[in-house]
Amino acid sequence: MRVLIVEDQAEIATLLAEKVLHAGFAADIVGAVAEARAAIEARDYSVMLLDRRLPDGDGVSIIRSAREGRPNMRVLMLTAMRGIDEMIDGLDAGADDYLTKPFDPEELMARIRAVLRRPGPQTAPSVRVGALSFELEEQRGFVNGRLFLAPKLELVLLGALMRRAGLAVTRADLLDEIYGGQGADQADALKMLIHRLRQRLKNQSARADIHAARGIGYLIRSAEE
């Protein structure tokens, strides 16, 4: 899972990223409203850690538009604004939780785990490629009604490809989604994972092929195309 950290103070952002990476998540850091909106449009995030006081506006302004495009993303506000009115504004705008600075890093991680356990506002749809149907929320696939059997890492890879079926997914994005903060050293492991998943799709008659996109990464599409 990937976390977006929206924080303009470099020291705090670095601390947050270290805690998130240590917990096994991937992390991106941005420091402004405009940068956060661009990041949300470009990538799927499980959680956004959102500061309110940003150089180009109030972080609350991000939440409603983020909810429209990423309805399953959890939003945890982190702010030095302690007033009850500010807290109500954030929660009414759609934040899942609110934590005031200074905060205990362990409490932050506990709250992240808590918001991830809550049911989302809607279930992500399933995606179909060839004879393979993949449930994005549950990370499981079916081929003509039969459960697609594969190890966990292959299912994470398959989910990353199916979420953007027909589009090339960069190697960097795949490495981050599969291996989190340790992805940079796993290029060879990714190649082997791709090879095994290709063979498994063929063996289970999924009629879905994984193709290399030269200089970019990989994409999945129907074998009939």
Q: For residue range 131-189, what is the model confidence (pLDDT) as tens digits?
A: 999 987 778 899 987 999 999 999 999 998 998 888 899 988 888 888 875 656 788 89
Tokens 């490495």, residue located? 175
Q: For residue range 48-83, what is the model confidence (pLDDT) as tens digits?
A: 999 988 999 888 888 877 877 777 889 998 887 766
Provide, rounded to the nearest whole percent, the portion of the chain with pLDDT above 90.
39
pTM: 0.55
Average pLDDT along the chain:
86
CA distance 116 to 138: 14
Indicate the residue type of 91.
L
- How confident is the model at residue 208, as a pLDDT? 95
- How confident is the model at residue 55, as a pLDDT? 93
Q: In this structure, how many other beta carbons lie within 10 angstroms of the beta carbon of residue 182?
A: 14
Beta strands, E only, 1-96:
2-6, 26-30, 47-51, 53-54, 57-58, 74-79
CATH 1.10.10.10 domain residues, the chain: 126-222
For the domain covering 126-222, report its CATH number: 1.10.10.10
CA distance 32 to 27: 16
DSSP-assigned states of every residue in 101-138: SS--HHHHHHHHHHHHHSPPSSPPPEEEETTEEEETTT
Q: Does domain 2-117 have CATH number 3.40.50.2300?
A: yes
Least confident range from 19-23, 33-37, 46-50, 194-198: namely: 19-23
CATH 3.40.50.2300 domain residues, the chain: 2-117
- How confident is the model at residue 165, as a pLDDT? 87
With CA atoms as reference, report the closest residue to 201 among 214, 211, 215, 216: 211
Query: Residues 218, 222, 168, CA angle at the centre, nearest 5°?
Result: 20
Indicate whether 103 pLDDT > 90: no
